Amino acid sequence: MPKRSAPNNKKMTLRDLLVMQLKMVYDIETQLVKALPKMAKKATHADLRRGFERHLKQTQEHVSRLENAFDMLEMRPQKIQSEAIRGLVADADSIVKNVKGSSTLDAGLIAAAQCVEYYEMAGYLSALGWAKLLNQHDIADSLQETLDEEQETSDELAEMAHSEIDEAALGEHQEGDEILRPVPSHNGSSKSKKEEEEIGVGAESDLETEEEEESQA
């Protein structure tokens, strides 16, 4: 699969840029078809699990719409590897591996999914603008339909977080975890234990990743 960083001396047109963007969102969507079932499996809140499963079906439809867009351009579907989506999926994986507490994990999964949704929407917004400028109205309509669904998913995730899951996660912290307990700092100001850890004072963070542990070994 070609990467975005591959050297290319050809002068690009806006149409080339649109095609490049379609190839990138096609890669993003196919990566998400693989990642969403894993996120659904890890979600503990039934509404969140169903939300991920519903968005998986939509994502499969997004893949089909992009294949139709390539068809309209008389091209076979191709991908350009997005490093960013692989990073965002790795971030979600890190949350799954490191976050303890069921509602806290759900809150973390929502945050990771929101990063993905905003990244997808940014990609679709650019492609949509270019398709309109290039009078590719059928492709623009198809991109708009997907963009609307991504926005709906983002709104649903935010609603779930605000209505229930973040509050439940807060309850988990209050039950057994010292994360919110303020500790005096060396200069007399009161910082939370978490803040002290973030600036390198006190014990190592419980959320330290395996990668960081390895690099320190």
Select from 4-12, 61-69, 183-191, 195-203 the region that touches Fe ion (CB under 5 A).
61-69
Select from 46-54, 58-66, 102-110, 205-213 the region that touches Fe ion (CB under 5 A).
58-66
Nearer to Fe ion, 152 or 177 (CB): 152
**What is the smallest separation between the CB atom of 111 and Fe ion, expressed in angstroms?**
18
Closest CB to Fe ion belongs to which residue? 62
Is 62 an interacting residue with respect to Fe ion (CB under 5 A)?
yes
Report the distance separating Cα 64 and Cα 34, nearest Å: 15
Burial class (CB in 10 A: 0-12, 13-18, 19+), 199: exposed
Please give the structure tokens belonging to residue 175: 């039950």
Report the distance separating Cα 188 and Cα 23, nearest Å: 55
Q: What is the DSSP letter of 160?
A: H
Nearer to Fe ion, 85 or 160 (CB): 85
Report the distance separating Cα 86 and Cα 81, nearest Å: 9
Is 21 an interacting residue with respect to Fe ion (CB under 5 A)?
no
Nearer to Fe ion, 52 or 194 (CB): 52
Is 65 an interacting residue with respect to Fe ion (CB under 5 A)?
no
Report the distance separating Cα 61 and Cα 57, nearest Å: 6
**What is the smallest separation between the CB atom of 191 and Fe ion, expressed in angstroms?**
40
Position among 59, 104, 142, 154 found at the interface with Fe ion (CB under 5 A): 59
Please give the residues from 113 up to 142 whose contact with Fe ion meets the rule CB under 5 A.
none
Nearer to Fe ion, 50 or 100 (CB): 50
Select from 36-44, 59-67, 90-98, 133-141 the region that touches Fe ion (CB under 5 A).
59-67
Beta bridge partners of 125: none
Nearer to Fe ion, 36 or 105 (CB): 36
Q: What is the DSSP letter of 164?
A: I
Could you tell me the CA-to-CA distances from 57 to 24, 33, 35, 82, 144 in Å, in that order? 20, 9, 13, 21, 17
